[in-house]
Structure 1
Amino acid sequence: MDKKAAQGNLLIVEDNPTNLSFLFNYLTKSGFKVLVATDGKTAIQRVEAAQPDLILLDVMMPGMDGFEVCKRLKSSPSMRDIPVIFMTALSDTLNKVHGFEIGAVDYITKPIQPEEVVSRIQTHLTLRNLQKELQAKNEHLLQSQQQEKQRSLELEEALHKLQQTEVQLIQAEKMSSFGKIAAGIAHEINNPVNFIYGNLYHANEYIQDLFELITLYTQTYTHPTEKINRKIQEIELDFIQSDLPKLLESMQVGAERIRQTVSLLKNFFHLHEAELKFVDINQDINNTLLLLEYHLDAKAGRPRIEVIKNYGSLPLVKCYASELNQVFMNMLTNAIDALDEKYGKLKREGEMWLIRGDRKAGEEEEEFVRSPLTPDQSQSPTIEISTESVDEAKVIIRIADNGSGMTEEVSQRLFDPFFSTKPVGSGTGLGLTISYQIIVEKHRGQLDVTSERGNGTEFVIEIPIQS
């Protein structure tokens, strides 16, 4: 890599004087022009004034933290394109993932290694320079037609490769983080829940024995003392004898529900299993739906989403199970978002009021009745999932919704890296790009989409049985 091509103006945002001094001295000696800020407010002012080429941003700062600073930068047209590299602790995987989601391009773990810092800075400055150069070339091509066309194509290919590499790094980091979180939850919850679940049976047996003993006492000693009678009335013994078994039964149902959730997490990420394995596609889709059960429930703006399953008889499919589950998760969450958008809008429009006249027989004046407009009752938010096996060589999965749909322009850019129709801070626009890579590049399959604005979307996944 040409070091000179990657050098530029940097802004370091760090409230720790030791780290700030160390980075400033090292990067200055490496040939960079360095500005500094010790808090979020000052950082935003420096960016507006100096427009640096890259920002090194600490996550944990008093007042305005690094996440809030990044959100404000990405919401400003004049500052959103400046690459942000977070500096955070190695174990803080959730912060790393959150940083990518709000617009950061990379992260540097603490304690800081100066060689790694320079290498990452040079990489992202090169990427930004390529983006700027590509934009300039495109503007120049509008005036000079075919001049520099070949060079533009080469730059576009280089940019695409860099973006694909970045997408893969982000996906690997996210899945690693989520997998570690799921493994931690499964480990920390499973043992105590199993202890509770296993002992509830014995607790119920002991309580039944005690109830039988109390019954024998009351049958044998038919005239208890006044003190015992008062205590029986005070604690409502009859109610305890009828309610306590119900209470234990409810606890057992709750413990079983927790065990099922932990099992779903293990199955979704396929923890502690070989990466390439034979799986039941229908079962994996069901597991994903169970994890999304809360989002399918009715909420303000729309009724519960109906899921229609048209599962065919499928053979076991050899695939990267955890990554394929991530595709199902992306497709289903996109469908839920589209249904929220469409039926939430119908609900808001339905809150307008109409006045209709209804004159009764024999009355001289009209009696007016007010009633709210409601969404078309012939439609309800629906996701339809179909699976089938074709020629014993491949399986086809269709995930369709009757949500808001997409325009032709959006459909054409759907699998572009970092393209998103959601507001800044709501996502990276990587979900469908990653899904495309998993299906097409990793499984040698196909991923197609058909959509019509206002009438829903259908994704068609095709993968070979033996990837």
Structure 2
Amino acid sequence: MDLFLVVFFLIQFIRQRLNTALVYKEWDKKLLLARSIAIGLIVAFWIFNKSQLVQWLSYPLVAYILYVIHKEKDFESIRSTVQSLYPYVIVSFLGDCFELVAATQYKSYRNYFELAKGFSFLWMLALWFNFRKQQKVLEKEREEQKRKDEENEAKKTSLEYLVAERTQELTIQTIELQRALDELKATQNQLIQSEKMASLGELTAGIAHEIQNPLNFVNNFSEVSVELCQELEEEINKTEIPDADKEYIAGIISDLSQNQQKITHHGKRADSIVKGMLQHSRASSGTKEPTDVNALADEYMRLAYHGLRAKDKEFNATLTTDFDPTIGKVAVMPQDLGRVFLNLFTNAFYAVAEKKRLNKDNPAFANYKPEVKIITKLFGGKLYIRVTDNGTGMPEHVKAKIFQPFFTTKPTGQGTGLGLSMSYDIITKAHEGILDVTSTPGEGTEFKITLPVSLNT
């Protein structure tokens, strides 16, 4: 009977210790079945008046439970505790075997067996009590460790928060420093551009003023010479001179008058160019003015062309214009936009001249004709300007740096690398537009300007 109770409490201990109802549901079903069998055997033991047969049925049940505990890894944590049950089971089994084999002699040794069972039972209780004590200590240690882990986790979370906060502060400071650096670079570029343009403006203004004085004399004296020719012709008509001589003299006077008129015409043209140079040398007012962009582009295209022709008398190029006649006057900064046109046209003429020079001995380029073209178009509240050439073109690595300050592909002394950088700033910052470039090496380049405009008639 007592072995049945041991089996019953052993099953309850296993279910409680391993929490099989939640963790090992399949084992829990088998343990419940074993518990039901143990209860049934207890009931049968009393019904059949403490039948020895029922008593012997408890041993296979106990043996099976102990076998499963030692075989299955799921029960590894309770094996040491269950081992305390061995002495009691062995003593009970030996006593029952001795009683079955020699019942008469068993009566003489019954007290010894009962005493051994008592000691083994006490041994089992002592081990279980010690195990429970150890379990409580372990649970306390686990709780303490859990508390420490929670504290460490809280500290870790706090540290991570502090690190994240500090990282965010450093990121903001980095962004602010980068912004300050960008502003410093932009200011530096503006100072470089202003200094360059100021020097260029002073030089241009000085040259223009020096040219303008003798040019005024040429224009004035040519006009006076035309008037003198007219007076001379009138006086000759009054004088009695043979008709043949009059015709000869009149012819000379007519030729002289035409020459003086041509001098006057080209002198005025030169005067307009000098005035344009003076206007170009002035600092921009930063105020947009109604401007005929077509006329402005045409003027600076010819200025750039004749500027290159002055250096290279053999250079010739086709100047093609495709102006939108519906544009009228557009509000822009004429001095600044003129600088952009001058830079773009100068680069375009340089590219076609360089292509002509590099391939002058190449039969494949015998029919090459340098051409620079400008197209203007007004559409959807935007002014589109395209400056195209059929020159040398640019590879990708050059095109990527073309608007950087001081970057130039021209030989030393022929380019400062500030023209296109200044043009980019004028279009993108001063006019809030877009300046872009497309190029094919060996075929040509196209600069594309897009300006948001308001019309002024």
> Shorter-chain TM-score: which interval?
0.5 to 0.7
Give 1:277 shift.
1.3
Give 1:201 shift.
3.4
The residue number in structure 1 matching 2:336 is 323
The match for 1:409 among 374, 394, 397 is 397
Aligned residues: 280
The residue number in structure 2 matching 1:218 is 242
Please tell me whether the aligned partners of residues 393 and 440 of structure 2 are also in contact (alpha carbons under 8 angstroms): yes
Whether 1:459 and 2:447 are equivalent positions in the alignment is yes
Q: Give the TM-score taking structure 1 as reference length.
A: 0.53
Please tell me whether the aligned partners of residues 301 and 340 of structure 1 are also in contact (alpha carbons under 8 angstroms): no
The residue number in structure 2 matching 1:284 is 296
Which stretches in structure 1 are left out of the alignment for 5+ residues?
1-147, 223-231, 351-372
Superposed, 1:263-278 pairs within 5 Å as 263-267=272-276, 270=279, 275-278=287-290
Aligned residue type for 1:262: D
Please tell me whether the aligned partners of residues 402 and 457 of structure 1 are also in contact (alpha carbons under 8 angstroms): yes
1:88-115: CA deviations, max 9, x gaps? xxxxxxxxxxxxxxxxxxxxxxxxxxxx
Which structure ranks higher in relative contact order (CA pairs < 8 Å, sequence separation ≥ 6)? 1
In the alignment, the residues of structure 1 paired with residue 303 and residue 315 of structure 2 have an alpha-carbon distance, to the nearest angstrom, of: 19
Whether 1:251 and 2:260 are equivalent positions in the alignment is yes
In the alignment, the residues of structure 2 paired with residue 302 and residue 193 of structure 1 have an alpha-carbon distance, to the nearest angstrom, of: 28
In the alignment, the residues of structure 2 paired with residue 179 and residue 374 of structure 1 have an alpha-carbon distance, to the nearest angstrom, of: 41
In the alignment, the residues of structure 1 paired with residue 349 and residue 410 of structure 2 have an alpha-carbon distance, to the nearest angstrom, of: 14
The residue number in structure 2 matching 1:9 is none
Please tell me whether the aligned partners of residues 390 and 443 of structure 2 are also in contact (alpha carbons under 8 angstroms): yes
- Relative distance call for 1:406 and 1:173 in structure 2 (3 A) is same
1:385-435: CA deviations, max 9, x gaps? 1001012x2211100000000110110001101111122222210000000
The residue number in structure 2 matching 1:309 is 321
Pick the structure with more strand per residue.
1
Please tell me whether the aligned partners of residues 373 and 389 of structure 2 are also in contact (alpha carbons under 8 angstroms): yes
- Relative distance call for 1:395 and 1:174 in structure 2 (3 A) is farther
Q: Give the TM-score taking structure 2 as reference length.
A: 0.54
The residue number in structure 2 matching 1:381 is 370
- Relative distance call for 1:346 and 1:152 in structure 2 (3 A) is farther
Give 1:240 shift.
4.9
User: Secondary structure of the equivalent of 1:292?
Assistant: helix
The match for 1:421 among 409, 423, 436 is 409
Pick the structure with more helix per residue.
2
In the alignment, the residues of structure 2 paired with residue 179 and residue 321 of structure 1 have an alpha-carbon distance, to the nearest angstrom, of: 17
Aligned residue type for 2:357: G
The residue number in structure 2 matching 1:335 is 348
- Relative distance call for 1:151 and 1:178 in structure 2 (3 A) is same
In the alignment, the residues of structure 2 paired with residue 344 and residue 301 of structure 1 have an alpha-carbon distance, to the nearest angstrom, of: 13
Please tell me whether the aligned partners of residues 400 and 459 of structure 1 are also in contact (alpha carbons under 8 angstroms): yes
- Relative distance call for 1:442 and 1:158 in structure 2 (3 A) is closer
Aligned residue type for 2:377: E
Please tell me whether the aligned partners of residues 315 and 353 of structure 2 are also in contact (alpha carbons under 8 angstroms): no
- Relative distance call for 1:302 and 1:452 in structure 2 (3 A) is farther
In the alignment, the residues of structure 1 paired with residue 409 and residue 308 of structure 2 have an alpha-carbon distance, to the nearest angstrom, of: 22
Please tell me whether the aligned partners of residues 318 and 372 of structure 2 are also in contact (alpha carbons under 8 angstroms): yes
Give 1:247 shift.
2.3
Give 1:285 shift.
1.1
In the alignment, the residues of structure 2 paired with residue 384 and residue 297 of structure 1 have an alpha-carbon distance, to the nearest angstrom, of: 17
Over the aligned positions, Cα root-mean-square deviation in angstroms equals: 3.5
Give 1:303 shift.
5.7
The percentage of counterpart residues that share the same residue type is 27
